[in-house]
Amino acid sequence: MSFPSLPPELVRQIIESSVPSSFHSTTKKERQATLRSLCLVSQLFQSIAQPLLFRTIFVNSPGDLACALASARAKEAYGMIETLVVEDKHEIWTATSAAKKLSLHASNLRTLILHFTRPKSQFRAYAIHLHPRTCFAFRNVSDPSTESSDCE
Amino acid sequence: MRIDLETLQLVSRGFDSSASYTFSRLVNLTIDDLALKNASRLLRPACLPSLRHLALPGVWAEMDLKSLKKAHLEALLPQLETITLEAALFQLLPVYLFQYIDRTLFNFNACGYATPGSIVEVCHLRVREFNSQSFAFEMIETIPELVSLIRRRNPINLRSIYLHPSLRNPANLIDELSDLTIDLLEVCQEKGVEVIYEIQPETTVDPWISDEFCKRSRMQREAEGRTVMKRC
């Protein structure tokens, strides 16, 4: 039996078992690279691999965020995003922007992992607030105008 | 739009829960020592009605006990199926946490810490960084102490030990690590301690709540439930 003639359920199981089921820092690059390659194999592969590709968004730079959001928009994949991992080594706005954008579009977001590595002194101006309706929002304490007001 | 988070992991000084919010569907919460300082209003059953799994990485020092006390964890504990704590906290463990020891997984960092004698009084232990060859020198001292403690303790409370999957085949490790691993596996077998291999958190963005531990705890509870039903 040739691969394309396999039942889609079986192809799905093969693809899902070829990558780790959840996010881990040691496997994230390999996982995403594998899924990107699988998306290019055929329409069937793409239909299975693409949701897995967008399931977890890992952001640790403004560039990452821009790429992830642009791809999600182009592929109409916001609804596929289930996990957002923000490791903010650079600018607090990475997390702020990610939170704002995703709280607007990612209706299926279920897992949020936030790690901020900025020194304490540089953090004084910021606070993370958990928003009652969207569950999270970010605010610059010294500048109330930056509050995430578009989170509904 | 409403987002109902099921998993939240906060490793941050910037977290602020000065207002009271409800996460109606949150099942897994990981909150480190820094975020815990400001989370006192979050860790309440009314705010986290669905919470079942809680991990507190980095909470082990005396000063962290203040944050724990302020957080009033006592009320939240009965609803939890698993708790993940640092092994270094065990010696300072508040009484209200001690009674949940059979559903607590203790993280033991094999590198850079002395091995407390009390470590084998826990029921479930995850030995971290044991697979890292760059720390082999420190582990050459630490792991034999752990092995010796397990061997000497009779009877032993320790029921399971969680190791990195790379330790499943000690022959692939460098000689020193290979010998240490074999010793540890042997003493576990001798004492009836179950060895479970599972990928472990390596950075603070990795999941701290062990899937295997959650699964086994659930199975244990179901088995206990069946036993009670039969008795009835």
Q: What are the residue ranges in chain A where pLDDT is below 50?
A: 120-135, 137-152
Angstroms from B157 CA to nearest CA on chain A:
31
pLDDT given for residue A92 in this prediction: 57
pLDDT given for residue B137 in this prediction: 65
Check CB contact under 8 Å for B14 and A123: yes
By residue count, chain A amounts to 152
Residue of A nearest to B22 (CA): A132
Measured CA to CA, the distance from residue B174 to residue B189 in angstroms comes to 22
Measured CA to CA, the distance from residue B77 to residue B88 in angstroms comes to 20
Torsion of CA B80, B82, B87, B93, to 10 degrees: 20
pLDDT given for residue A143 in this prediction: 40
Measured CA to CA, the distance from residue B37 to residue A119 in angstroms comes to 16
Residue of B nearest to A112 (CA): B8
3-state secondary structure of B206: coil
pLDDT given for residue B225 in this prediction: 83
pLDDT given for residue B22 in this prediction: 78
- HSE (CB half, 13 Å, CA atoms) of B210? 31
Task: For chain A, state the CA radius of gyration.
Answer: 18
Pick the residue of A114, A133, A134 with the most B CBs within 10 A to test the interface with B by mutation.
A114
Which of A73, A38, A31, A89 minimizes the C-alpha distance to A56? A31
pLDDT given for residue A150 in this prediction: 32
Torsion of CA A66, A72, A78, A82, to 10 degrees: -80
Measured CA to CA, the distance from residue B178 to residue B142 in angstroms comes to 14
Measured CA to CA, the distance from residue A121 to residue A61 in angstroms comes to 20
Return the DSSP state at B156: -
Q: Is A85 near chain B, with CB under 8 Å?
A: yes
Q: Is A26 near chain B, with CB under 8 Å?
A: yes
Among partner residues B10, B11, B16, which is closest to A129 by beta-carbon distance? B16
CB neighbours of B219 closer than 8 A, spacing ≥ 6? none
Q: Give the global pTM.
A: 0.85
Predicted ipTM of the assembly: 0.81
Check CB contact under 8 Å for B21 and A103: no
Q: What are the residue ranges in chain B where pLDDT is below 70?
A: 1-3, 13-21, 111-115, 130-138
pLDDT given for residue A95 in this prediction: 59
Angstroms from A43 CA to nearest CA on chain B:
31
